[in-house]
Structure 1
Amino acid sequence: MTMLAAPPAGPVFELPRLPLLLRHAVPRIFEGMILPVAVFYAGMMVSGFVGGVVVAVVWVYGGVACRLARRRPVPGAVLLAAGTVTVRAVLALLSGSAVLFFLQPTLGVFCAAAAFLATARVRRPLARRVAEDLVPLPAHVLENPLMRRFFTRQSLVWGCAQLGNATLSLWLLLSQTIQTYLVVRTSAVAVLLTGAALLTLVDFRRCLRALELGA
């Protein structure tokens, strides 16, 4: 553990090692980014486009039901995802167009890219808000000037990565079959976002070492 000094009114904070932080963040990323695509693709392979849409909706609402059954709070992001996937499914099934089902999240990625880039220089950029959901860091660490510069850099990194993601996704969606879209987009975006994640991890590790030396 890395010991970081806390403000006079607070206790000393033990900063977890990077592997512990990864074990905290990876399941959330896997649940939110990888499983939904895999579930839709599996449903589509078995029952066609309609089957994929139905399985995707059941998956999202099943996650809500499991949390309620375990008496766990349902995050606002999960409720938003449930409402969004319902609207997407209704529009896609009524129109019979798979493009409509995937267009909304692609446009959402464009919005996310714009949000990362637009908030890079504000006090609490989007990169920091995402980090607060994934990594348990106290406020005095997050407010450290070194970490504030880190979040500015990462807002730019992830803004550019998501812009590339959205541009590629839109081109594939409008020019290729849905099967090609799913396979190529998933593979290409995995490489793109993995590269961005590696940059983030290297930068984060450098910041942790600097914080440890300055503690």
Structure 2
Amino acid sequence: MTLLAAPPEAPAFELPRFVSLLRHAVPRVLEGMILPVAVFYVGLVLGGFTAGVVVAVAWVYGGAAWRIVKGRAVPGSVLLAAGMVTVRAVLALLTGSPVLFFLQPTLGVFCASAAFLSTARLRRPLARRVAEDLVPLPDQVLNKPLMQRFFRRQSLIWGCAQFVNGSLSLWLLLSQPVETYLLVRTSAVAVLLSGAALVTLADFRGRLRALQRGA
């Protein structure tokens, strides 16, 4: 590892290895993005739409309960997700409409796209805020001009990727059965977002190497 220069009042920071950063980020991505869809689909296949909704709600609340049992703080994002999935589940079960259950997340994707794009030129674009949750880097690293340019660039990339994601998801949701929606959307979005993630990881790795060289 390489020690990065720090302000006089701060200790030198030892830049973690890239693999360590991945170990920190991957579980959060799995918990928040991949496993919720997987458990809903399992419930849907085994017991129908109602079972899928119940399993999805149980997954979110189970994650919060597990943290409480372990004596860990429940992140605000988990509490927000619990509230949102509850409202979605109630509306979907009362109306019997799967569209209502999936429409809010799809609209949320468009909001995320707009947020990435609209903050790309700000001092703290949304891409940086996301990175701060996923990657343990101090402000002395995040505030470097090289990293600021990286976050602006990534805000544009992810804004465009999420717009394509939302457009595809909305079309599938309104035109296909829920089983087809889940299978096709999950596969297509996985390819789309994996491609964007690979671009981000390659760019990020390049920025870390530049920081290690003292850029």
Q: TM-score with structure 2 length normalisation?
A: 0.99
**TM-align CA RMSD:** 0.7
> CA-to-partner distance for each residue in 1:102-144, whole Å, 9 max, x for gaps?
0000000000000000000000010000000000000010000
Rounded Cα–Cα distance in structure 2 between residues aligned with 1:177 and 1:186: 14
Name the % identity.
75
Other-structure match for 1:195: 195
Q: 2:179 aligns to what? A: 179
Q: Is the 8 A contact 1:2 1:17 kept in 2?
A: no
Supply the AA of the counterpart residue of 1:61: Y
User: Runs of 4+ in structure 1 displaced over 6 angstroms?
Assistant: none
SS at match of 1:200: helix
Q: Distance in 2 between matches of 1:105 and 1:51?
A: 19
Deviation at 1:205, TM superposition (A): 1.0
Alignment of 1:81-120 (within 5 A): 81-120=81-120
Q: Corresponding residue for 2:21?
A: 21
Aligned length: 215
Aligned to 2:132: 132
The CA deviation at 1:192 is: 0.4
Q: Which amino acid in structure 1 is aligned with residue 187 of structure 2?
A: S
SS for the counterpart of 1:214 is coil
Q: Which residue in 1 is equivalent to 2:78?
A: 78
Unaligned runs of 5+ in 1: none
Alignment of 1:44 with 2:44, yes or no, is yes
Residues 46-97 of structure 1, C-alpha deviation per residue, up to 9 Å, x if partnerless?
1100000001111111111111111110000000000000000000000100
Displacement, 1:2? 2.5
User: Where does structure 2 lack aligned partners over 5 or more consecutive residues?
Assistant: none
Task: Please say if residues 150 and 204 of structure 1, whose CA atoms lie closer than 8 Å, have aligned partners that are also in contact.
Answer: yes
Structure 1 Cα separation of the partners of residues 181 and 203 of structure 2: 32
1:209 deviation in Å? 1.2
Write the distance in 2 (CA, Å) between the matches of 1:60 and 1:214. 43
